[in-house]
C-alpha cells in the first residue's frame, strides 16, 4: 500500500489534502509517541529502579520503607510488565494531551486554576466551541477515587 492509497482508505474526516501531509503527520506521531514516549518510559523505569523519580517531584511518589536497588530489581524481575506500567502511571512518558472543544462547554474550575477567585472557591466558567482543552495525564493518574494509594 502506498501513501496515496492509505490516504484514500481513511474516513473522509481523517484524509489529508496531500499524501505528503499525511506522511508528515504519521512520522510525527511515530517520532513523538514511538521514539520519544519509549525513551521517556525507559528513562523513568531506570530512575525508579534507582529509587529516583525522574521528572516527577519526589513528594508525589511514595517508595515503600527501605526501598533500595535490590528491592526494586526484585520487583522488576517478579513482573517487568507490572513494574513498567506502574512507573508509567506515576511518571507518564506523555504527560498531557490537547484537543479542542467540539461544542460550547461550562466547566467548574477551582483552587485558583484559571479563575480569579480565592483558593478552594469554585467558579463555573464558559468556554466556546474550538477552545483548546488540555488533559493532564500525570495528575489524573493520582486520582484517589481510582487508585488506592496514588
pLDDT at residue number 110: 64
pLDDT at residue number 66: 81
* Strand stretches in 9-140, DSSP E: 96-100, 105-109, 123-127, 132-136
pLDDT at residue number 80: 92
pLDDT at residue number 113: 52
CA-CA distance, 150 to 140, in Å (whole number)? Answer: 10
DSSP state of 12: G
pLDDT at residue number 57: 74
Q: Does the predicted model carry a pTM greater than 0.85?
A: no
pLDDT at residue number 117: 53
pLDDT at residue number 104: 95
Q: pLDDT tens track of the chain, all 150 residues?
A: 566 788 888 888 888 888 888 888 888 877 776 788 888 888 888 888 887 776 777 777 777 788 788 888 898 999 999 999 888 888 888 778 888 999 999 987 765 455 455 556 677 888 999 998 887 777 777 677 777 766
pLDDT at residue number 96: 80
* Strand stretches in the chain, DSSP E: 96-100, 105-109, 123-127, 132-136
- Extract the C-alpha cell encoding 119: 483558593
Amino acid at each position: 500500500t502506498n501513501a496515496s492509497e492509505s490516504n484514500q482508505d481513511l474516513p473522509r474526516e481523517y484524509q489529508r489534502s496531500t499524501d505528503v501531509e499525511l506522511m508528515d503527520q504519521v512520522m510525527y506521531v511515530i517520532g513523538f509517541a514511538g521514539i520519544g514516549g519509549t525513551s521517556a518510559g525507559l528513562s523513568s523505569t531506570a530512575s525508579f529502579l534507582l529509587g529516583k523519580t525522574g521528572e516527577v517531584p519526589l513528594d508525589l511518589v511514595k517508595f515503600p520503607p527501605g526501598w533500595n536497588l535490590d528491592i526494586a530489581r526484585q520487583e522488576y524481575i517478579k513482573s517487568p510488565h507490572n513494574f513498567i506500567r506502574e512507573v508509567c502511571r506515576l511518571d507518564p512518558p506523555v504527560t498531557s494531551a490537547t484537543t479542542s472543544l467540539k461544542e460550547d462547554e461550562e466547566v467548574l474550575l477551582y483552587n485558583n486554576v484559571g479563575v480569579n477567585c480565592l483558593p478552594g472557591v469554585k467558579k463555573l466558567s464558559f468556554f466556546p466551541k474550538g477552545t483548546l482543552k488540555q488533559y493532564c495525564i500525570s495528575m489524573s493518574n493520582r486520582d484517589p477515587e481510582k487508585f488506592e494509594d496514588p
